[in-house]
Structure 1
Amino acid sequence: MTVTDTTAASAQPGQHGFKEHSDGGWGLVPVQTRSERFRSTNVEDFAALTGREAEWRYTPVERLTALSEGELDGGEYEIATTDVEGVSVEWIDMDDARIGQAGMPEDRPAANAWTQTKKAYAVTISGEEAKTVTIERSALGSDARAAHTVITAKPNSQALLILKNTGDALLAENLEINVEEGAQLTVVSVQWWEDSALQLSSHFSRIGRDARLKHVLVTLGGSLVRVNPSHHLAEQGSDIEALGLYFADAGQHLEHQVYVHHDAPYSRSRVTYKGALQGEGAHTVWIGDVLIGPDATGTDSYEQNRNLVLTDGTRADSVPNLEIETGDIAGAGHASATGRFDDEQLFYLQARGIPEDEARRLVVRGFLTEIIQQIGDADLQESLEAAVEQELASTAITGGAR
């Protein structure tokens, strides 16, 4: 089933996301509001990627042709899920009523994955008792694949869901998260791929009345990984805490474009992403869009991105954006910073007898583990802290603050 969002800005084939100037004769201008982007589940409604599109301007799109243009295997694949009371899993058809409730594709690769997926993996969480469930994917292989996952947290349920991605992959996928009234859900997605992996992933969440979602992205592996979460605070009292951690090595491209749409009164959002970069050609991209709609009175929102540059030859792009369409809010703000070390922190540690190299590693460790410690699973936190230590062990950290 193909669905096109007719509430988004009108667009002509080949020019989605654009509209004609009202005076005429001026060509085309970009959509001015984040919520106006064209959305469709049909890949044919999107033009081929050129890299000139605003949302692709930082991405090496020439490496993504297999995912945006090619045929994808959209069938069932090997997946392992822990058996937990109150959590059910099943493969469902793409015409199931649960599909499309949280969001729709805004770009061609996501639509290509949606169009070619034959079976979606559905996870349903119920029961007020807190529970932890782990989903592992490690055998996707190097063939181009589409995937679709739907997570539903029933009213007043509580859970921590961990999605671990390892091994090789050439993957375009969509992940939907429906957090129903009063539910408390944490979703942790770990991208721990092999060095050759390519992943394009769109996450969509819809958060109901007095419900809370903690969404955590940890991106450590892969050659090119782009994970874009879109969070819809759809009902009064909804809450999103969006956290991200990434560590880019030489030649890696790690990208996250976060969108938070406050669409209901008295909703709350906190967005915190932190990244470290080392090695020639390491490139990270973070774009944060927060839209406070006209009905979102009493909104409380803040987003921030921090990047720590460990060596020369890296690049970190960081773009926070904030749109406010009502004057009656509790607060809203954003911040972004990219730099090397704080010389005062280094001086403090060295003054207490800690060698410079170890002092630098302590600063990086403290910078990144702030995110890790908020995951809520001791085993996973320990594994990620060990991974950060391994990254730092091979790093010749250079330079001071700038």
Structure 2
Amino acid sequence: MSLLTTNYLTPTGREEAWRFTPLKRLAGLHDLSTLVKENISLSTNRALPSGVSLKVVTASDLPPAYESSDLVTNRIRGNVKDISLLRIEKDSELSQPIHLKRSCGSFAELSKLVIQAGVNSRSTVIIENTGTGEIGEEIEISLEAGASLNFISLQEWDRSAVHLGQHHAIISKDAQFTSFVISVGGSVVRLNPTVEFTGPGSSAELNGIYFATDGQHLEHRIHVNHNVANAKSRVNYKGALSGDQARTVWIGDVFIHKGAEGTDTYELNRNLLLSDGARADSVPNLEIETGEIVGAGHASTTGRFDDEQLFYLQSRGIPADIARRLVIRGFFAEIINKLKNEELEERLMKRIDDELAKAGE
């Protein structure tokens, strides 16, 4: 474990990439004059199935597979000497998910994980972030030809945590990537789920839910890079906000290159404001360089709690607090039910119920 520094420019908040982010609350992860440490913070306490390995490798032996413009990601690359490598061998078909849990120290830290899904493999990876922590992370995900990977990232932090990260997926020919980014905890969470395609027939489905209460800042910045022909993407993020100074930011960028004929893409963001004093910023962007596509579109909505739904439930004898909880559950159910993990679904719904109860106190 070593102290880290770098020579990049520290953002001031005037930059487009940082204008929504509360820089003073980032525990110095963005401030290049502040010392932070590297740490291997992800591990598993379960036996790994056959065909799966998790080990620590030297960063110089596994150079980055893509370029990043993210400051924290580049800070990690310039300074972290050891990274975690999760390898799923070719033709592996895993019936149970791979669970990784993060254990943070009492200091601001940087960490990197590489996930490699081999040819024609089928797997699910769940990363659980809980407790307190101040972390900048990079997760690089490579899907080889024909691979299928479900990637679930759970931000169930305590209210003091700070989490900045990039999750980048590289999707090969005929591979299928499905991600779920779920943020229901932390003081500041700022994640960049990004995707690029390297072969035809590849597809990505990016799902996300977030629930911000008093003073929380939850920011998700999605970028889908359609740079090959005949690839498909779907983005669907839903957020709810309740409490004074609850803040969310969603940026959705889709770029269809000139040579990406046959692209099929759509992105959607919906935000539900449950109280005064909450604010949701939603910015969908779509850039198209070719007209030879199957389809491309985006939509964004931000609205208040539907009093008619609440009245309907109350008129049938359901108490107001339970009716309110049912409406919120229904709002998130579309995405949570896709997890196809009953234990995880119930745990997340309970966390959302608890956050809603705290917001109403």
Shorter-normalised TM-score: what interval?
over 0.9
Check whether the contact 1:267–1:299 (CA below 8 A) recurs between aligned residues: yes
Confirm whether residue 50 of structure 1 aligns to residue 12 of structure 2: yes
User: 1:347, 1:193 → 2: CA distance?
Assistant: 34
In the TM superposition, what is the alpha-carbon distance from 1:347 to its structure 2 partner? 4.1
Checking the alignment, whether the CA contact within 8 Å between 1:277 and 1:311 is kept in structure 2 is: yes
- Deviation of 1:363 (Å): 1.0
TM-score w.r.t. length of structure 1: 0.84
2:80 to 117, 133, 149: 117
Show CA shifts across 1:163-198 (max 9, x none): 001111111111100011000000000011111111
Is the strand fraction higher in 1 or 2? Answer: 2
Q: Who is 2:68 aligned against?
A: 105
> What pairs up with 1:369-380 in 2 under 5 angstroms?
369-380=333-344
Which residue, out of 257, 260, 280, partners 2:221?
257
What does residue range 50-89 of structure 1 map to in structure 2 within 5 Å? 50-64=12-26, 66-68=28-30, 69=32, 70-77=34-41, 79-82=43-46, 83-89=48-54
> Quick check: 1:171 aligned with 2:138?
no
Q: Describe the SS at the equivalent of 1:373.
A: helix
Aligned residue for 1:349, secondary structure, equals helix
Letter in 1 for 2:83: A
Residue 389 of structure 1 is aligned with which of 350, 353, 360? 353
1:134 aligns with 2:99: yes
Match of 2:247 in 1: 283
**Alpha-carbon distance in structure 2 between the residues aligned to 1:173 and 1:155:** 26
Q: For the Cα contact (< 8 Å) 1:148–1:175, is it kept in 2?
A: yes
Summarize the alignment of residues 224-303 of structure 1 with structure 2, pairs less than 5 Å apart.
224-303=188-267
User: Is the 8 Å Cα contact of residues 230 and 262 (structure 2) preserved in structure 1?
Assistant: yes
Measured after TM superposition, the shift of residue 263 of structure 1 is 1.0
Mapped to 2, the partners of 1:172 and 1:193 lie a distance apart of 14
What is the alpha-carbon distance in structure 1 between the residues aligned to residue 228 and residue 302 of structure 2?
33
Give the number of equivalent residue pairs.
352
- Aligned to 2:323, the other structure's residue is in SS state helix
* Letter in structure 2 aligned against 1:104: E
Structure 1 counterpart of 2:156, one-letter code: W
> Higher mean Cα deviation, 75-84 or 311-320?
75-84
Shift of 1:392: 2.3
SS in 1 for 2:206: strand
SS of equivalent to 1:66: coil
* 1:298-336 superposed Cα distances (whole Å, 9 cap, x missing partner): 111000111111111111100000001110011111010
Alpha-carbon deviations, 1:91-127, whole Å to 9, x = none?
Answer: 0111123x311x3331322211221211100001123
CA shift for structure 1 position 233: 1.8
Partner SS, residue 186 of structure 2: coil
- Once the two structures are TM-superposed, the CA of residue 75 in structure 1 deviates from its matched residue by 4.0
TM-superposed CA distance for 1:248, in Å, is 0.6
Letter in 1 for 2:74: A
Q: Matched residue of 1:394: which SS?
A: helix
CA contact (8 A) 1:311 1:396 kept: no
Q: Is residue 206 from structure 1 mapped to residue 187 from structure 2 by the alignment?
A: no
Answer whether contact 1:114 1:146 (CA < 8 A) is retained: no
Partner of 2:278: 314
1:185 aligns with 2:149: yes
Counterparts of 2:270 and 2:86, CA distance in 1: 33
TM superposition shift of 1:215: 0.9
Q: How many Å separate the matches in 2 of 1:43 and 1:239?
A: 36
Contact 1:67 1:112 in 2 (8 A): no
How far apart, in 2, do the equivalents of 1:390 and 1:344 lie? 24
RMSD over aligned Cα atoms: 1.7
Provide the rounded CA distance (Å) in 2 between the counterparts of 1:390 and 1:150.
Answer: 33
Give 2:10's aligned amino acid. Answer: A
Deviates more, 1:71-80 or 1:380-389: 71-80
Which letter does structure 2 place at the counterpart of 1:56?
Answer: W
Q: In structure 1, what is the equivalent of residue 59 of structure 2?
A: 94
Letter in 2 for 1:121: S
Other structure's SS at 1:374 match: helix
Go from structure 1 to structure 2 and tell me whether the alpha carbon gap of 1:43 and 1:179 turns closer, same or farther (over 3 Å shift). Answer: farther
Are the counterparts in 1 of residues 49 and 94 from structure 2 also a CA contact under 8 Å?
A: no
Gapped runs of 5+ residues in structure 2? none
Per the normalisation by structure 2, the TM-score is: 0.93
Work out the CA distance in 1 between the residues paired with 2:253 and 2:171. 17
Alignment partners' CA distance in 2, 1:331 and 1:343: 35
Identity of matched residues, %: 45
Gaps of 5+ in 1: 1-41, 398-402
SS at the partner of 1:279?
A: coil
CA contact (8 A) 1:81 1:133 kept: no
Shift of 1:63: 2.6
